[in-house]
Structure 1
């Protein structure tokens, strides 16, 4: 794989709140893409 900079942050989710926020965003994106 190339080492091109990713268009998104790869910061580790250290705190539980960060993990919850990340999951919520991914959930919203998934639901939006599936149009459900």
Structure 2
């Protein structure tokens, strides 16, 4: 799938970004406390 098409699909679903960023932040904190 073309990158622009994938980006467009992501941007139409901002709640997915919130989930992704939340998970990423959680992983960073988890690694920092290990």
TM-score range (shorter-chain normalised) is: 0.5 to 0.7
Q: Can you give the 5+ residue segments of structure 2 that lack an aligned partner in the other structure? A: 1-5
Structure whose residues are more often helix by fraction: 2
Gap regions ≥5 residues in structure 1: 1-10
Asked which structure has the greater RCO (Cα within 8 Å, sep 6+), the reply is 1
TM-score (norm 1): 0.58
Q: How many residues align?
A: 25
Q: CA RMSD in A?
A: 1.5
When the two structures are superposed, what TM-score results if normalisation uses the length of structure 2? 0.61
- Runs of 4+ residues deviating >3 angstroms: none
